A and B are shown apart, each in its own frame.
Chain A
Amino acid sequence: MRVPLSWLREYVDLPATETGRDVQAKLISAGLEVETVEQLGAGLTGPLVVGKVLTIEELTDFKKPIRFCTVDVGQANGTGEPQEIICGARNFAEGDKVVVALPGAVLPGDFRIAERKTYGRVSRGMICSGDELGMGDDGTHGIIVLPPEHEVGTDATVLLELFDEVLDIAVTPDRGYCLSMRGVARETATAYGLPLRDPALLDVPAPNSYGYPVQITDPIGCDRFTARTVVGLAPEARSPIWLQRRLQKAGMRSISLAVDITNYVMLELGQPIHAYDRNRLDGPLGVRRAEAGEKITTLDGTVRVLDAADLVITDNRGPIGIAGVMGGANTEIADPVTDPETGIVTGSSEVVIEAAHFDAISIARTARRHKLSSEASKRFERGVDPQAAAAAAQRCVDLLVLLAGGTAEAGVTEVAAPSAPRTIAMPANHPDKVAGVDYGRETVVRRLQEVGCDVYGQDELIVTVPSWRPDLNEPNDLAEEVIRLEGYENLPSTLPKPPAGRGLTERQRVHRRVGRALAGAGYVEALNYPFIGEQALDQLGLDADDARRRLVKLVNPLSDEEPALRTTLLPGLLGALRRNDSRGSHDLALFETGLVFRPGDQPGVAVRLGVDRRPTDEEIARVNAALPAQPRRAAVVLAGAREQAGWWGKGRPSDWADAVEAGRTVAAEAGVELIISADQHAPWHPGRCAAFHVEVDGEKVLVGHAGELHPRVVKAFGLPARACAMEIDLDLLEKANEGPLKAPRISSFPVATQDVALVVAGNVPAAEVEAALTEGAGELLESIRLFDVYTGDQLGEGSKSLAYALKFRATDRTLTVDEASAARDAAVALATERTGAVLRGA
């Protein structure tokens, strides 16, 4: 809502010194979002005067037609002589009144007007267009031609009200009444503690039976309809400057007098008005729901197919308007047309004014259904004061009579469903309890009265809310009114005392620890959008029946290429890897933790439950069952060097082992040991892919994968060669956690170290050999470490040698060499039995 300060002053006697910024501060404090204060006329200085064009000489020697004019500006130029001015516009004639900027004037944009030679003449000023004066374009792109009654020499800055301030207010959905000057004026008056001149307080004749006939068949959709008729309108009557300017400042374009008046009244009172050309109406006006498939051509020239839920205005022919949203083309007020031969102006001379009240939700649905948001629908959706309809109709009638020379017919139609004022019962101290401030009953009552409420009662107040505040329904709504008018800025600052908290949950701690551990290991966190498309899944090389291809899809994705939610973190991370690489960072280790989305097996619909009570556990369970599974995962991607080359020596490229180690790092933070085995799983290299399992309740559960990416995947995503990746499910890891770590017993007896080198077939996993050695060595084994892997000619084709350092130690004695050797032999024996290992050199 754009509110010109000059207009606002009509309803509230603000001190003359108050600026737009002052009013802005007051209104913001009262809860209106005043976003900007526009300074109209900023950068404009006169002299700017009304002139009368005396002569026009057409200069034809130039590329475009140019006019050399003499203009009477009265005594404004100091001489009284006609002012000679060159003008490029053509929409004026000798005798017209125009706006002249005299030398010395400065127009917006630091456009300085001076006497200058141009087109072979001396031009002493400029004939101005609306644009040039910062008024906004009026649609003609031409210069302003003023009504003839204005005196030459008159200061045009005053006449055109060029200096003003406009408050731009973003009206929140609960404050529909502030989509009107009346509403903003009420807030302003309250904020300043000044009286309001309510523009809706008009003398309205009583309804009678001889007004234009109206039949309402849907009183729920339309609970009030006022119709008035004005005849004998002068088609040539134009909107006066003040009316045009107010519309312009409020952000609307001047169209024709009758339409301008309806818009003006809507801006003033908040009541949308529709004007019908009576001669184009066929029979009584009706209000009903549309029949599905009915058609109407709206004012904007669009043919619209109506829905059975749309509320329409009809005459004998059928729908002539979409109620509260937009009128129809076939009953529109005709723009005045001037016959070029005779000069006679024709146009609508008889209008029927509609000031009605429609159901907010119905209007909202229709506006959305037809993607047709109008000034009217915006207001009806947020609530229009039903009691203002008659006054608004009257105001229209008055202005048509005054400005268009019309005559009001005596008939006054008013169809209104009976309604009682709404009341709210509220303890008088409720606002005090909500705010934590002792306002006292008197203040509460006074503030509510300022809002427009009638208040009765002592400890328990009975509050009748004003018709323009459909948003006031509950005691808390009233409390807000009191608190905001008393000033949010005056609220004290106190701290509640929560009960002792339990800190973060284990899941939350694991999440944080994983992030810290990965960052500590050199990984940089990237938070990627979760949107993916089929293309990414194809690039990952997933099989047609891969579970990751079952997607949660969006109805309205931002991009049709990525219409679904990720089922794996990898596409986003790989995208970030590629982006960094292309920007010149080549040695990369990235990580992300976040949710992936896996549709359930039997997705249903999450039904809308009621809100009048807590849903039952079964109801909530059903709603939750319609949601996809959303496990939290961690993933890393790597490319380039893991260790850089430098003055210390060589670097080391990142490889599959780094990716697997990242998995171990994450699992360690979750307090879980991974069981690692070889796997073949997209998008990894089939020979360089590890599967991660953990034990949950004695069962082996797959939690993730790691390794080098498949060369095809690397190519498809455009990644650096040998890029690696790891992805693991944090929620499953958390489940596998078996509680607090059991501390190791530290023995201070000497250690006995035994090294063994075992030769096994090349395809025997080291993890199995190690497991066998560990088990076979028994409880004397303190630690085992693989310190070398060797393949070579000495071993023969397809074999490898694994060298382990075994540390033995007892908690209660010094081990003898024989004891340590016996344990080692037992270890080797079990490894031999399980994996076919042979002691090297044996």
Chain B
Amino acid sequence: MSAPNKSYDPVEVEALKPEEIERMRDEALAAFAAAGDLDELAHAKTAHTGGTSPLALANREIGALPPQAKAAAGKIVGQARGIVSKALATRQSELEAERDARVLVEEAVDVTLPYDRVPAGARHPLTTLMERVSDVFVSMGYEVAEGPEVEAEWFNFDALNFVPDHPARQMQDTFFVQGTSVEGTATTGDESGVVLRTHTSPVQARTLIDREPPVYVVCPGRVYRTDELDATHTPVFHQIELLAVDEGLTMADLKGTLDHMVQALFGPDMKTRLRPNFFPFTEPSAEMDMLCYVCRGESVGNPDRPCRTCGSEGWIELGGCGMVNPKVLTACGVDPEKYSGFAFGFGIERMLMFRHNVDDMRDMVEGDVRFTRPFGMEI
């Protein structure tokens, strides 16, 4: 803030005639209006609002006016400058909008262009389906248990009540591992007592041996049987197994758990059906079917609405289940008088086939990226 000016020059007062100020204002307004683009406006801005512009000079003159004239002159000049700067701002934004409209149109791109610079990866649907099923049970409090794929016969068969020479042992076509002597000079047929696990059930036995009841686990994993690969068979496939051992578990609990699973995976009004069957490691045993999630059973006896998914049977076969055979509990050190349990297992390949309309098992095993890629990260 400078000190008040005492040495004014009365002659100069003439310069601040209102008409002059109006003229300056109008010239500025005309120049802004005439500016066709932002560059021209910038020039006009300098000429009419810059430090050497007439209005700026006039403003400076006010200081030189006698005190009695200052107020009036200040008002006139201030008003004019206000109008000018407002007009400048208005014109500025008009021209910017014009420019933007033009430039942004020029910058427009074709947003429909494809972009596959780094093609997407994907996890295998068998992996993600196994995880999805596991997660249903993990959310119920189950834990995920794992075991070796090259497994001792005792775990794969004996502990599960597959008695030696019982026909049940022949039901599953087993890969046997050669006995090896040192130096790797194996001779065919040496009894090693080791097999490629034919089901995920040995994990049941390992879990029961390792943990104290209550035990609630799911065991997803790879299993092996000596089937040649074709449209509906593969020697290497995946199962998921469930085991619950606790006090007072019943077959009704098994049924409820199965119902919950198919509801979680296929929708709220899904259900399962049990049919008596035989498995050495469960007694009673059952085959489990789920309601066909596509036709909901409506294709049965209705030739006009055939269902491909269930072959118009209304039910889809899932796998085997039952109450854990007390002999299995005994072999694993669980007191069958105190505890009971249920178990079930089914093939992931099969579920993938009917859930996702896969026709040929070979598509799942060949690793063709065209098959796997659409499945993405989750299923």
Contact = CB atoms under 8 A, between A and B. Distances in A.
A607 B244 CA distance: 28
Interface string A443-485: 0000000000000000000000000000000101101100110
Nearest to A501: B141
A611 B161 contact: yes
Given A494-B256, A522-B120, A382 B167 contact: yes
Nearest to B152: A606
Of all A-B residue pairs in the complex, the 6 with the closest CB atoms, nearest first, are A614-B333, A31-B276, A436-B250, A526-B367, A436-B252, A480-B284
Interface of A: 28-31, 33, 172-175, 361, 364-365, 368, 381-382, 433-437, 474, 476-477, 479-480, 483-484, 488-489, 491-496, 498-505, 508, 512, 515-516, 518-530, 550-558, 565, 573, 576, 579-580, 583, 585, 587-591, 594-595, 597, 599, 602-603, 605-615, 620, 623-624, 626-628, 630, 642-644, 646-648, 651
Given A529-B235, A609-B154, A552 B250 contact: no
B121 A365 contact: no
B117 interface: yes
A28 B179 CA distance: 43
- Main secondary structure on B side of the interface with A: mixed
Interface stretch (B76-84, B91-99, B188-196): B188-196
Given A480-B276, A480-B284, A527-B126, A502 B143 contact: yes
A555 B191 CA distance: 9
Interface string B353-379: 000000000001111111011001100
Nearest to B116: A644
A630 B307 CA distance: 43
B176 A527 contact: no
B22 interface: no
B116 A646 contact: yes
Contacts of B120: 519, 522
Given A524-B372, A623-B152, A630-B149, A611 B275 contact: no
B127 A364 contact: no
Contacts of B253: 436, 494-496
Interface in B233-275: 235-236, 244, 246, 248-253, 255-257, 259-260, 271, 273-275
A488 B274 contact: yes
B350 to A, nearest CB: 16
Given A498-B142, A501-B142, A524-B369, A599 B184 contact: yes
Nearest to B183: A550
A5 to B, nearest CB: 20
A626 B275 contact: no
A508 B285 CA distance: 31
Contacts of B37: none
B140 interface: yes
Given A381-B167, A609-B158, A474 B283 contact: yes
Interface in B93-110: none
A447 to B, nearest CB: 13
Contacts of B259: 493
B146 to A, nearest CB: 8
B192 A434 contact: no
Contacts of B146: 508
A495 B325 contact: no
Contacts of A583: 368, 370
A550 B286 CA distance: 42
B251 A491 contact: yes
B365 A172 contact: no
A626 B367 CA distance: 32
A503 B144 CA distance: 8
A630 B367 contact: no
A484 B154 CA distance: 30
B291 to A, nearest CB: 12
A529 B127 CA distance: 14
A174 B123 CA distance: 41
A364 B169 CA distance: 11
B293 interface: no
Contacts of A519: 120-123, 376-377
B256 A498 contact: no
A31 B277 contact: yes
Contacts of B368: 579-580, 583, 585
Given A436-B252, A642-B118, A597 B278 contact: no
Nearest to A482: B284
Nearest to B221: A595
Given A30-B276, A172-B277, 5 more contacts: A361-B166, A524-B373, A554-B176, A609-B159, A644-B118
A613 B333 contact: yes
Interface in B314-342: 323, 325-327, 330-334, 340
Contacts of A524: 121-122, 369, 372-373
B191 A605 contact: yes
A180 B142 CA distance: 44
Contact of B117 (A520, A526, A648): A648
A554 B150 CA distance: 11
A172 B115 CA distance: 57
A627 B118 contact: no
Contacts of B365: 527-529
A557 B225 CA distance: 10
30 contacts: A33-B287, A173-B166, A173-B168, A364-B166, A433-B340, A436-B253, A491-B255, A493-B271, A495-B253, A498-B216, A500-B141, A504-B143, A505-B143, A519-B122, A519-B123, A522-B119, A523-B121, A526-B372, A550-B184, A555-B188, A557-B175, A606-B152, A612-B331, A614-B331, A623-B152, A626-B193, A643-B117, A646-B114, A648-B115, A651-B117
B216 A499 contact: yes
B339 to A, nearest CB: 12
Contact of B369 (A499, A585, A608, A609): A585
A479 B284 contact: yes
A498 B214 contact: yes
Contacts of B334: 614
Contacts of A612: 330-331
B331 A495 contact: no
B53 interface: no
A488 B177 contact: no
B192 A495 contact: no
Nearest to A628: B150
Nearest to A378: B167
Contacts of B367: 526-528, 573, 576, 579-580, 590
Contacts of A382: 167
Nearest to B258: A493
Contacts of B138: 501, 503-504
B153 interface: yes
A681 B216 CA distance: 44
B271 to A, nearest CB: 8
Given A494-B250, A552-B150, A599-B184, A613 B331 contact: yes
Interface string B152-178: 111100110100111110110001111
B158 A608 contact: yes
Contacts of A557: 175
Contacts of B114: 646
Most buried by A among B120, B140, B228, B366: B366
A437 B170 CA distance: 34
B148 interface: yes
Contacts of B327: 474, 611
A476 B140 contact: no
Contacts of A505: 143-144
Contact of B193 (A516, A518, A605): A605
Contact of B141 (A499, A579, A590, A648): A499
B278 to A, nearest CB: 4
Contacts of B214: 498-499
Contacts of A565: 150, 196
B256 A525 contact: no
Contact of A437 (B192, B249, B252, B340): B252
A502 B287 CA distance: 30
Given A480-B276, A494-B253, A642-B118, A630 B159 contact: no
